[in-house]
Structure 1
Amino acid sequence: MTEVTLSAGVVEYEDTGGAGPVVVLLHGVAMNGSLWRNVVAGLGPGYRCVVPTLPLGGHRRPMRPDADLTVLGVAHLVGEFLEALDLHDVTLVMSDWGGAQALVAEGRDRRIGRLVITSCEAFDNFPPGLPGRNLYTAAKVPGGLRLAFALLKLRPLRRLPPTWGWMSKRPVPHDVMDDWFRPLWTSAAIRKDLRAYVLGVPPRDELLAWAEALRTFDRPALVVWAAEDKVMPPAHGRRLADLLPRAELVEIADSYTLIPEDQPQRLADAVKAFLPLP
């Protein structure tokens, strides 16, 4: 694990290195970069995969007290990350978390050569679906996030629809989920960071404007959506593909939201088919 100091604090990341096309892979709330472990393996050594752990609850280093951890603030942090590592012509891949769409709306996408949007927040689906609404409710109550994640120490509760049951069709390995949740179990500062993010969703009009701004992204784009998604409506994937001028749409069967968990090789194959050969 490598780290870089940004305006909000220290961000850890993994970097496979190499001279191949740069692929930056972004995870969602209460996860870390290990979400992409099987996709990175499926892409193989021809690509340089850079996988940051964003301050969305699965991070181990609390952010600075004055850090902007709203949805837009974290999106700006992604842009800052690309600049700090001096990455160019990046293929930016997002799963579950859709905030990176704001980089296009804000005109901060010059380092992005290609965009890959897999099942994620879009339009006004912030926080997304039943799990997102439950997380938002917990964040509004003092001690709510601590209780919500303490309950997830009970492994059977992880497969319920209000928690993680609708996020992946197949159970995420418990050791992986334990690693995702441990910072929230052990650190009040990490829970504070997550709370700032969850409560930092912009108004609906702004969210819809982010989606509309995708019409200005004139580079290649790939939209990959889970055909059976219960949290991110499949219709949203089709709408995003219609908005992006140079988009391809791939729908993946037998998967819920977390395609990197349910169908990692199919996702890796779709990304490889979309990218230029290394």
Structure 2
Amino acid sequence: MPQITLPQGTVHYRSTGDGPPVVLLHGYLMDSKLWDPVVDRLAPDFRCIRPDLPFGAHRIPLSPDTELDLVGIARLVADLLDALDLREVTLVGNDYGTSVAQTVAARHPERIGRLVLTSGECFDNSPATWFKPLVPAARVPGLLTLAFQSLRSRTLRRLPFAYGLLTANELPHDLIDDWVDAFFSDRGVRRDCEKVTRGFRPAATLDTANRIASFDRPALIAFGREDRHFPFKHGARLAALLPDARLAAVPDTRTWVMLDQTEMISGLIGEFIRTTPIGAARSDDAPV
């Protein structure tokens, strides 16, 4: 798997296909393989780039002094786009990656041509209700690691405070096994995950919501109708904030729209890119 060295450290990423760049961001305690079913359908027409973000399932820890709050992670993604020299990117987010994508668009829009936000954190819903206890746990050395021991069990990971409410279908246990193994295999990875977890703050996502109206490029908001973590009404609020947004309700799905409704979400993203030409480049004086 390719890797690139950024100011924050080494980041693995996957790149598939050729054509206009689509960068897909995943969620907390996951990696970029979650997007593979969608990439299989988009790659004939687009270059799909999926970084493994430092959310606890990555394999190489970042530099110990890296800031991994929401703003710091958005800076990492912006630096990745710069390092790969990607232009007019369609940036796609899911779960916590949705919050990151919003923040990149609001603070570092120079290389972003379009924005796709699927079910994920926004406004004051960060983290989602079931995961709020993780934030104080991350402040106590070793407690987050202890809490995640339960994820080794395929039975316990089905519970609401684990992966249980993220999909309307069966959990992708082979993927989750890899994610949990990555977390427990490296102390530096666990350190990164603790920093990310301590950075979950409603104030940060509210600040991003206040800034997102400055993003005047095309946006697609596609939230799951049955999502119990990230309600569809939040997607509708996001669409109302953005100057050039279209809203899509994804039926019979929860957070993982890429697994529950692979064909539909792939079609929505592909059609959105083909039917929304990118206008004049933005100025570099966006708010920071």
TM above 0.5, yes or no, is yes
The SS at the match of 1:149 is helix
Structure 2 distance, partners of 1:264, 1:6, is 32
The SS at the match of 1:75 is helix
Could you tell me whether the CA contact under 8 Å between 2:3 and 2:10 is conserved in 1? yes
TM-score with structure 1 setting the length = 0.94
The SS at the match of 2:132 is helix
The SS at the match of 1:127 is coil
Which is further off, 162-171 or 137-146? 137-146
For 1:150, the aligned partner's letter is: Q
Q: Give ranges in structure 1 of 5+ residues lacking alignment.
A: none
Q: Does 1:271 find its partner at 2:272?
A: no
Structure 2 distance, partners of 1:207, 1:154, is 32
Structure 1 distance, partners of 2:5, 2:87, is 19
Q: Give ranges in structure 2 of 5+ residues lacking alignment.
A: 276-288
Could you tell me whether the CA contact under 8 Å between 2:138 and 2:194 is conserved in 1? yes
Q: Does 1:7 find its partner at 2:7?
A: yes
After superposition, residues 236-247 of structure 1 pair within 5 angstroms as: 236-247=234-245
Could you tell me whether the CA contact under 8 Å between 2:10 and 2:62 is conserved in 1? yes
The SS at the match of 1:78 is helix
For 2:13, the aligned partner's letter is: Y
Structure 2 distance, partners of 1:147, 1:128, is 20
Corresponding position of 2:102: 101
Runs of 4+ deviating beyond 3 Å: none
Could you tell me whether the CA contact under 8 Å between 1:172 and 1:261 is conserved in 2? no
CA-to-aligned-CA distance 1:77-126 (integer Å, 9 cap, x gap):
000000000000000000001122122332x1110000000001001111
Corresponding position of 2:161: 162
Corresponding position of 1:253: 251
Corresponding position of 2:115: 115
Q: CA deviation at 1:137?
A: 3.8
Structure 2 distance, partners of 1:63, 1:74, is 11
Could you tell me whether the CA contact under 8 Å between 2:13 and 2:49 is conserved in 1? yes
Q: CA deviation at 1:202?
A: 4.5
Specify whether residues 203 and 266 from structure 1 end up closer, same or farther in structure 2 by C-alpha distance, changes over 3 A only: closer
Structure 2 distance, partners of 1:144, 1:232, is 26
Could you tell me whether the CA contact under 8 Å between 2:127 and 2:202 is conserved in 1? no
After superposition, residues 78-227 of structure 1 pair within 5 angstroms as: 78-97=77-96, 98-106=99-107, 108-130=108-130, 132-202=131-201, 204=203, 206-227=204-225
Q: How many residue pairs get matched?
A: 274
Query: How high is the sequence identity, in percent, across the aligned residues?
Result: 44
RMSD over aligned Cα atoms: 1.5
